[in-house]
Structures are given as structure tokens and as C-alpha cells.
Structure 1
């Protein structure tokens, strides 16, 4: 049971990181496109 809880928390944490990363990358890409257009 305890092992299962740890695995569940690990999966939630990993998916949270993945989602956070996706959002961050989108923002970075927007910034990059904006800077490219300004030049």
C-alpha cells in the first residue's frame, strides 16, 4: 500500500513537471518569435 502511494505521488509530480515544462516552452517560443520579428 505504501509503495503504491509513493508511485502515485511520483506520477503526479512527473506529470506536473511535464505540464509546467510545456507551458514554459510555449512562453519561450512566443518570446523567441517576437524577438525574431523585431529584428
Structure 2
């Protein structure tokens, strides 16, 4: 029997955001602003 740890998708996304370079992070934010009508700039 072995134990495996699985990261939740939200946690994986959070880790990716924290590790992203500034330009990549800005691109991610811009993309989310276009996709999600609830977000405002």
C-alpha cells in the first residue's frame, strides 16, 4: 500500500501564478480579464 499526495487544481494554479515571471503573469491576468466578465481592470 502506498500513499500518494495529489494537489488540488486550485492549488496547482496558485503555485503556477506564484512562480510565473512578471510578463507571463500579466498575460495570464489579461487573459482572465477577457474571459471572465465579472472581473474588472
Asked if these proteins are the same fold (TM beyond 0.5), I'd say no
Q: Identify the structure with the greater helix proportion.
A: 1
TM-score bucket (shorter structure): 0.3 to 0.5
Select the structure of larger CA radius of gyration.
1
Normalised TM-score (structure 2): 0.40
Normalised TM-score (structure 1): 0.41
